[in-house]
Amino acid sequence: MHPILTIIIPTFNEVNNISKIVEKLESALSTVKYKIIFVDDESNDGTINKIRLLEAQKSNISLLLRIGRRGLSGACIEGMLISKTELIAVIDCDLQHDEKKLLEMVNKFQAQQNLDLVIGSRHTNHGKSEDGFNKFRKLGSDFAILLTKKLLRIQSTDPMSGFFMVKKNSLLTVIDKLQPNGFKILADIVACSNRTQKKWEIAEVGYEFKKRTSGQSKMSIIIILEFISLILSHLSRGILSIRFILFGMVGLSGVFVQLFTTFLSLNLFIQPYVIAHSTGVFMAMTSNYYFNNLLTYQDRSLTGSSFFKGLLSFYLICSAGALANIAVAKLFFDNTEIWLLSSLMGAILGAVWNFIFSSIFTWKAR
């Protein structure tokens, strides 16, 4: 009998959960033939060795180790791409999702041949999330769900779920449109399916989102910004990528850094305008680099000495834009003496310049 199901388990520092999830899957799926693919992004807590030991013992377990990269969506996409079975499930490693529901999901596919996707939902019958979330995260989660449903026309009661099972043939119709740099792979899949010819048949299975008992959640402000970008990306019908939008957000923050620094050096340090403005531009370049490294390119973030090498090359690449920025600001200031207007004009020109040139030369957008 061939396996019919591949279970993708993304892992990042989950050493205490590896054996547990495998055991739990074994008892939950005793009647189904399945494979497990762990997709790890270089955990440093012993997770990889743990998986390798199991991989050696059990023929249905494999490890896909990604080198020099991070990101939950990307990990799931790559795991799904090497799956060979008719059905593919994604489940977190930290035992917060309910592996017992996988059987129910398989049964749904067998009962209804035209089904494309089954979503594990915390917000339908038998679904619950109170225990797994603190109050603040619950509120944020509810708001994000509402936003996703409205903006992306997703009908599901839990588009933000990270627990689902999909038919491989259906997934293949959207997989090249999915964005690897995000956290909400399911929302991306469903939103992409809305842009295909055939309307997907989607069912739901309620599950209780449990408390994490070991390890840490990777949820962060970065993930929220990524998610906002995912929504904007779909609103642009995929024309703007997540990365492109994050780059824009960072650029916008740079304008504020630039203006604020100029304001301080004019009023606190009483510098002449051109010096004050140039200091602002320099600070903005530095903070843009920092935030692009943290956010826009977090999947290949530079650290240690590479961080400083990257910073130097970034200064070099932006220097033409910075000079254009300063020249325009000076021109405006000489004629108007209004520093805010002049600096803003400089910033706009500098931003357009850097955007055009860095997308042509440095980070060609996908």
Q: Which of the stretches 217-225, 288-296, 302-310, 327-335 binds ligand GDD when contact is defined by CB under 6 A?
A: 217-225
Query: In sequence order, what are the beta bridge partners of 159?
Result: none
The residue within the footprint of ligand GDD, chosen from 6, 10, 123, 178 (CB under 6 A), is: 10
Residue 167 CB, nearest approach to ligand GDD (Å): 20
- Cα-to-chain-centroid distance, residue 263: 35
Q: Give the burial string for 214-240 (b: 16+ CB within 10 Å, else e).
A: ebeeeeeeebebbbbbbbbbbeeeeeb
Candidates 161, 170, 193, 265: give the one binding ligand GDD (CB under 6 A).
Answer: 161
| Given 52, 70, 108, 128, the residue binding ligand GDD (CB under 6 A) | 70
For position 37 contacting ligand GDD by CB under 6 A, the verdict is no
Do residues 40 and 14 lie in contact, with contact meaning Cβ atoms separated by under 8 Å?
Answer: no
Site string for ligand GDD, 163-182 (x = CB under 6 A): x-------------------
Q: Is 210 in the site for ligand GDD (CB under 6 A)?
A: no
Contact present, 40 and 47 (Cβ < 8 Å)? yes
Alpha-carbon span 127 to 168, nearest angstrom: 25
Closer residue to ligand GDD in complex, CB, 226/280: 226
Check binding of 104 to Mn ion (CB under 5 A). Answer: no
Q: Which of 96, 161, 179, 358 binds Mn ion (CB under 5 A)?
A: 96
Residue 149 binds ligand GDD, judged by CB under 6 A:
no
Q: Would you give the distance in Å from CA 322 to the centre of its chain?
A: 30
Site string for Mn ion, 75-94 (x = CB under 5 A): -------------------x
Contacts with ligand GDD, 75-94, as mask; x by CB under 6 A: x----------------xxx
Residue 72 interacts with which of Mn ion, ligand GDD, none, CB < 5 to 8 Å by class: ligand GDD
CA 187, CA 156: separation in Å to the nearest integer?
A: 10
Asked if 207 and 103 touch (Cβ cutoff 8 Å), the reply is no
**Residue 17 binds Mn ion, judged by CB under 5 A:** no
Which window, 211-219, 238-246, 301-309, 314-322, contacts ligand GDD (CB under 6 A)?
Answer: 211-219
Beta-bridge partner residues of 35: 6
In whole angstroms, give the CA distance from residue 279 to residue 282. 5
Q: What is the distance between the alpha carbons of residues 283 and 254, in angstroms, rounded to a whole number?
A: 8
Backbone angles phi and psi of 301, in degrees to 5: -55, 135
Q: Which residues bind ligand GDD (CB under 6 A)?
A: 10-12, 14, 39-41, 70-72, 75, 92-94, 96, 160-163, 183-184, 209, 217-219
